[in-house]
Structure 1
Amino acid sequence: MRLVQLTVPTGKRETILDTLNDRGIDYVLTDEDSKREYTAVVYFPLPDPAVEPVLDELQDVGVDEDAYTVVVDAETVVSRRFQGLRDEYESDDVESDRISRQELQAEADELTPTFPVYAVMTIISAVVATAGLLLDSPAVVVGSMVIAPLIGPALGASVGTVIDDEEMFVESITFQIIGVVLAIAAAAVFALVVRMTNIVPPNLVLSSVGEIAERLAPDLLSLAIALGAGVAGVVSIATGTSVALVGVMIAAALIPPAGVAGIAIAWGQPTSAIGATVLVLVNLLSVNLAGLLTLWYAGYRPESLFELGETEQRVRKRILGLVVIVLVFAVFLGGITYSTYEVGTFEQDAREEVEDVLAQEQYEDYQLLEFEVVLDNDYPFRNPQRVIVTIGGPPGESAPELLDVIHERVNRHADATVGVEIRYVEVVERG
């Protein structure tokens, strides 16, 4: 429920009151004596779905944007006529649960901080995320997401598009681009300082850090996360519910990958930064695409019907452009996913080959203790480099021919030659 406070311009009192009476809306009217061009202030409660059509109708009869209109939450309204309004406007479709277009625009503006605050908070969140990634600490990484001010710009572009507010659209796009650049640059500078001061080992292998490794070679599941974040963000803002947790989800899709890209650059491995950078870009575009589709589906349109056709054309072009770019990045992520699948298949097949060899009668005294596939560092498309097989056997005995046999069997399943290393461990059993 909402309580609307509206200043009545000179000469519009009867028109506005007639409009409210025709709608069956209860109101309270007070005289305005501020000596300005307003003669009164009218207060009236509305169900959430009624705010937008009622304000649009009042604007049609002469209440322009120069008049003050304040919409606030109302906890309880006890009125028989108000119940009639609820029956008229509230239904089970998605449009009855959303806030008005005017409130949506104000909410998007409020979620976007001033540029200095946005820049500082983005840099801080990127630095904290980088520290958490290097420490391999999920808790610290999550903390960096909480302080990231990304939800406003991430959703503002979609809001600006559907309500035909080009100024909001341009500002949001600018904030997003600058935010990505600042996050990666801040992460790179911080990681370089950390490395040069030996706070972490300078020879640290990035693939050995779990929080970093998973973002160096992202897969298609990352796309689902970004799309979900965009839809959830728009639903939360459009229904007037809390957006804090959804903001964390959007930041989760952007800040950690930006941190990983910065770390890879600081470690002098620009090719390793490719996967993380692509992940940042595809997530950012997916959030915008999901937000735009969700807002249009929810029924948000420009306030003027004359602008509807132009806005629909603009929305279609932007959706099409985003879909094409996201699909291009999705193909890249799909390639990484397929590469990961091939590595997993190779590991399974190679292990089975080793087990089959050791199951032969001449090797019955040996047993497989450990099997490991070591990948190269050619991110994001990694391939098997060598296989380490740890075999247990009787003390003082070994089977040198096993190396050639296993090497030949393992490489049946590899596209390029894979090295094989066999380690013998003496196994002593006592009855």
Structure 2
Amino acid sequence: MLHLRLITPADLTDTVVRLIENTVGTAHLVVLPGTARNPVGDVVLCDVAREAGDELLTALRRLDLDRTGSIAVENIDLSLSRRADKAEEEAPGEGADAVLWEGLADATHEESTLSVTYVSFITLATMIAACGVVLDNAVLIVGAMAVGPEFGPLAGLSTALVQRHPRLALRSLTALLVGFAVAMAVTVGFSLFMDAIDLFHRAQLDGERPNTAFVYAPDAFSFIVAVLAGIAGTLSLTSAKSGALVGVAISVTTVPAAANAAVALAYGDTGQTVGSIDQLLLNLLGIVLAGTLTLLAQKWLWARQRARTAGLSGLRARPEGD
């Protein structure tokens, strides 16, 4: 269930209340007239089944409530109410399959913004991965994958392509390209510094690396794993099961490939640099492609579910003898 807190202008409150009452899957409607001060208006509270949430939010935005008032949405972890149970039963489909497009756009907007924190995380992850590739240490590679925040802008780019949001697409692409460029540039300097203090050696990069050689040797499995991880990550975001994102992060060779490219560039090894960049681009392409196709499939399936439910509701409502 989702909890909605709305601030509505007084002349719009009755329209909003009727909209909520006519939306299948809503419960616990509360109206507090004249209680809002900034902006001035009435406060309307209600709960809605997740599978009915996107339809209600879209209708509220058509009323320009996001501009004239306020729409706040929270996830309800526990609701002990027969009316809530009934609302979820009445709503079409399953909550886990429903996509809150407004929530997805908002989440990916935050995760795909080029900020100091984002650049810091991706840079630190790349530096950790640099230590991993030089030492051929799989633990450091996995740790760097978990620290890397690059799935945020990748998901933002997929969402922007499906929802046709050019600004979100540009913001996500900027965060992705600038983030990796800065991280790799800093890691080149970091590698030269580590070499200067005799902690990194060219021989380590050129030697046998059974645990990390895959980062500069892309193959068909690189793309296949990236596609599978992109599907899993997208489903994790749309179903609010964020725990799966950690598994997605350590499944793809993005940060380690960027790190290996930076270290190889510091030592002038063009072969490993090119191979690592190919690995990086292949993984990024696979994730974006998978994420976009997954969102399109979810959108199509959910539209079919809603159309089927509307058809069944129409049949039930038709008088006998028609």
**Equivalent residue runs for 1:226-245 within 5 Å:** 226-243=226-243, 244-245=245-246
Q: Give the counterpart letter for 1:2 in structure 2.
A: L
Give the deviation of 1:280 after TM superposition. 0.4
Q: Measure the CA separation in 2 of the matches of 1:272 and 1:20.
A: 59
Q: In the superposition, relative to structure 1, how do residues 61 and 215 fare at CA in structure 2: closer, same or farther (>3 Å)?
A: closer
**Equivalent residue runs for 1:15-414 within 5 Å:** 15-23=15-23, 25-26=26-27, 27-35=29-37, 38-91=40-93, 97-112=97-112, 114-204=114-204, 206-243=206-243, 244-246=245-247, 248-249=249-250, 252-299=252-299
Identity of aligned residues (%): 23
Q: Measure the CA separation in 1 of the matches of 2:122 and 2:23.
A: 47
Aligned length in residues: 298
Give the deviation of 1:221 after TM superposition. 0.7
Give the deviation of 1:29 after TM superposition. 1.0
Whichever structure has more helix as a proportion of its residues is: 2
Q: Give the counterpart letter for 1:274 in structure 2.
A: V
Matched with 1:385 is none
The answer to whether the 8 A contact 2:138-2:212 is kept is no
Deviations 1:261-316 (A, max 9, x none): 11221222112321111010111111111111111111189xxxxxxxxxxxxxxx
Q: TM-score by structure 2 length?
A: 0.84
Give the deviation of 1:176 after TM superposition. 0.8
Q: In the superposition, relative to structure 1, how do residues 70 and 268 fare at CA in structure 2: closer, same or farther (>3 Å)?
A: same
Q: In the superposition, relative to structure 1, how do residues 120 and 68 fare at CA in structure 2: closer, same or farther (>3 Å)?
A: same
Give the deviation of 1:128 after TM superposition. 0.8
Determine which structure has greater relative contact order: mean sequence separation of CA pairs < 8 Å that are 6+ residues apart, divided by chain length. 2
Give the deviation of 1:202 after TM superposition. 4.1
Task: Please identify the structure whose Cα radius of gyration is greater.
Answer: 1
RMSD of equivalent CA atoms: 2.4
Consecutive unaligned residues of structure 1, counting only runs of 5 or more, are: 302-431
Q: TM-score by structure 1 length?
A: 0.64
Deviations 1:131-179 (A, max 9, x none): 1111111111111122212121111111122223222111000111112
Q: Measure the CA separation in 2 of the matches of 1:82 and 1:127.
A: 49
The 3-state SS of whatever aligns with 1:146 is helix
Q: Give the counterpart letter for 1:234 in structure 2.
A: T
Q: Give the counterpart letter for 1:249 in structure 2.
A: I
Give the deviation of 1:45 after TM superposition. 0.8
The answer to whether the 8 A contact 2:230-2:291 is kept is yes
Q: Give the counterpart letter for 1:98 in structure 2.
A: A
Q: In the superposition, relative to structure 1, how do residues 91 and 202 fare at CA in structure 2: closer, same or farther (>3 Å)?
A: closer
